[in-house]
Structure 1
Amino acid sequence: MKHIKLTLRAYLVTGILIWLPLAVTLWVLDMIVGTLDQTLLLLPDAWRPYSLFGFDIPGLGVVLSVLVLLGTGMVAANVLGQRLFDYWDALMSRIPVVKSIYSSVKQVSDTLFSDTGQSFKKPLLVQFPHQGLWTVAFQTGSLPDSVNQSLADLGDEYIGVYVPTIPNPTSGYFVMVAKKETRELGMTVDEALKYAISMGMVAPGAPQPAGKKRQAPGANPTSTL
Structure 2
Amino acid sequence: MNREDLPPTVAPGELEPGHPPGHPPGLMARFRNYFLTGLIVAGPIAITLYLTWWFVTWVDGLVRPFVPVAYRPETYLPFGLPGAGLIIAVFALTLLGFLAANLVGRKLVDWGERLLGRMPVVRAIYRSLKQVFETLFSGNGNSFRRVGLVEFPAPGMWSIVLISQPPSEEVSSHLPGKEEHISVFLPCSPNPTTGFFFYVPKSRVIEVELSAEAAATLIMSAGVVQPGSEQQKKIAALAGMAHAAQIANAGARQPQPAKVE
The answer as to 2:189 corresponding to 1:169 is: no
CA contact (8 A) 2:167 2:182 kept: yes
User: Once structures 1 and 2 are overlaid, which stretch shifts more, 25-34 or 41-50?
Assistant: 41-50
Task: Supply the distance in 2 between the matched residues of 1:147 and 1:99 (Cα, whole angstroms).
Answer: 21
Aligned to 1:69: 93
The answer as to 2:240 corresponding to 1:215 is: yes
Task: Supply the distance in 2 between the matched residues of 1:123 and 1:97 (Cα, whole angstroms).
Answer: 34
From 30, 47, 55, give the equivalent of 2:53: 30
Task: Supply the distance in 1 between the matched residues of 2:54 and 2:111 (Cα, whole angstroms).
Answer: 34
2:185 alignment partner AA: Y
- CA offset digits 1:83-123 (Å, max 9, x no partner): 11122222233345433333322221111111344422521
Aligned to 2:9: none
- For 1:40, what is the secondary structure of its paired residue? helix
Task: Supply the distance in 2 between the matched residues of 1:90 and 1:169 (Cα, whole angstroms).
Answer: 35
Radius of gyration: which is bigger?
Answer: 2
Question: How many aligned positions are there?
Answer: 221
- For 2:156, what is the secondary structure of its paired residue? coil
- CA offset digits 1:162-204 (Å, max 9, x no partner): 1112222222211111222221212233333333333223333
Q: Which runs of 5+ in 1 are unaligned?
A: none
Bigger RCO of structures 1 and 2 (CA < 8 A, at least 6 apart): 2
Aligned to 1:148: 172
CA contact (8 A) 1:110 1:117 kept: no
- For 1:166, what is the secondary structure of its paired residue? coil
From 87, 97, 105, give the equivalent of 2:111: 87
Q: CA RMSD in A?
A: 2.9
Q: Report matched runs for 1:1-225 at 5 Å.
A: 3-38=26-61, 39-151=63-175, 153-206=176-229, 213=237, 214-217=239-242, 219=244
Task: Supply the distance in 2 between the matched residues of 1:19 and 1:121 (Cα, whole angstroms).
Answer: 31
CA contact (8 A) 1:7 1:218 kept: no
TM-score by length of 2: 0.73
CA contact (8 A) 1:120 1:189 kept: yes
TM-score by length of 1: 0.84
User: Once structures 1 and 2 are overlaid, which stretch shifts more, 121-130 or 71-80?
Assistant: 121-130
- CA offset digits 1:118-159 (Å, max 9, x no partner): 4225210001222221011111011112332223x5243221
Identical columns (%): 34
Q: Could you list the runs of 4 or more consecutive aligned residues of structure 1 that deviate by over 6 angstroms after TM superposition?
A: none
CA contact (8 A) 2:145 2:211 kept: no
Task: Supply the distance in 2 between the matched residues of 1:189 and 1:29 (Cα, whole angstroms).
Answer: 21
Q: Which runs of 5+ in 2 are unaligned?
A: 1-17, 20-25, 252-261
2:152 alignment partner AA: F
Task: Supply the distance in 2 between the matched residues of 1:15 and 1:206 (Cα, whole angstroms).
Answer: 19
Task: Supply the distance in 2 between the matched residues of 1:8 and 1:70 (Cα, whole angstroms).
Answer: 51
- CA offset digits 1:201-222 (Å, max 9, x no partner): 3333345769x643344846xx
